[in-house]
Amino acid sequence: MQRMSNGGLRPSRGSCLFSLGIVCLAAFSPAAASASSWRTDYPQAKEDAQTRGKPLLVTITASWCGACRQMEQLTFTDSRVRRLVDERFVAVSVNSDQHPDVVSAFGVSALPTTLVILGSEPVKRWTGFQDAASFARDLEGLATGGKPQPQDEFAPVSAIYPSNSHRFGFAGFCLVSLLDNNILRRGEGEFTAEHQGVTVCFHTAEHRDRFVREPQKYWPVANGNCLVTSREQHAQEVGDPRVGVKWKGKLWFFADRTRQQQFMRAPHRFAPDSL
């Protein structure tokens, strides 16, 4: 969640990322599948919602907001969320930098802020990242006039570990989407392949077929383990695709953001000699 300061937005530091030819995977563009449901013209969306008698679903974001990207990539692309949004709401995405009037009108103090509006009054507000399962439950309750059901406290689903993470390698993310499309996107359980004893899933059958033809192209360096931990602590630690980088045409995953940035400052220090 990104908080607002002094009436404006405070983007995170990241201007040095491209000096080494490194692209941070956590900053990938939203999956294209979410784009069809969400408009960008707030006045028109508001008018259409009133005309059609539907609730208005508003998400207030910024291009630099990491939690906003997570919502776009992991929540709004979920099949159940997409169905509910398409069928029962008029949805609009508002860029807070371009529309400070909307930010002020709704008293937004942190991003992302997502609201459901009936008439002119907000009836539901979410602040920060919301996982797909709980967000869909809330939308279902609102759309049917009921109260949103509380999220199961014993089984939260986070942005880092989607619901398929325990069944598949690399936290359930599609390696081909990461490398070829620069998109952090979950795979589907029906599209899988096995390599080096690990079952991985892919966003589409085409992504899976690309991997099967060239598995070494897409396989992360060090089998997805964190090379910074390996060098600094002489220990093995599984890397997280959300804190990975794409460098020299390969995927590199790290245990956390600190180790990722250590690598980005001096990649040749940690890279295998073969690369």
Half-sphere exposure of 224 (CA within 13 A, CB side): 19
Which range, of 13-27, 123-137, 260-274, averages the lowest pLDDT?
13-27
Instruction: Clarify whether residues 139 and 197 are in a common domain.
Output: no
Predicted pLDDT of residue 36? 53
Average pLDDT, the chain: 79
Domains of the chain: total = 2
**Does residue 4 lie in a domain region?**
no
Sole residue written with tokens 């080494």: 20
Instruction: Clarify whether residues 110 and 196 are in a common domain.
Output: no
Please, what is the angle between helix 79-88 and helix 132-143, to 10°? 20
The model's pTM: 0.49
Task: Convert the pLDDT of each residue in 198-251 to its tens digit.
Answer: 999 999 999 999 999 999 999 999 999 999 999 999 888 999 888 888 888 999
Q: How is 163-191 classified by DSSP, letter by letter?
A: TTTTTSSGGGB-HHHHHHH----B-EEEE
Using only C-alpha atoms, the chain has a radius of gyration, in whole angstroms, of 20
Instruction: Clarify whether residues 221 and 117 are in a common domain.
Output: no
pLDDT at 148 over 50: no
Residue-number span of the structural domain to which 115 is assigned: 30-143
Instruction: Clarify whether residues 180 and 121 are in a common domain.
Output: no
**Residue 2 and residue 65 in contact, taking contact as beta carbons nearer than 8 Å:** yes
Highest-scoring range by mean pLDDT, 27-31, 111-115, 154-158, 240-244: 111-115
pLDDT at 143 over 70: no
Predicted pLDDT of residue 12? 38
**Does residue 18 lie in a domain region?**
no
CATH code for the domain in which residue 66 is found: 3.40.30.10
Instruction: Clarify whether residues 133 and 50 are in a common domain.
Output: yes
Q: Which two tokens stand for residue 93?
A: 């995405």
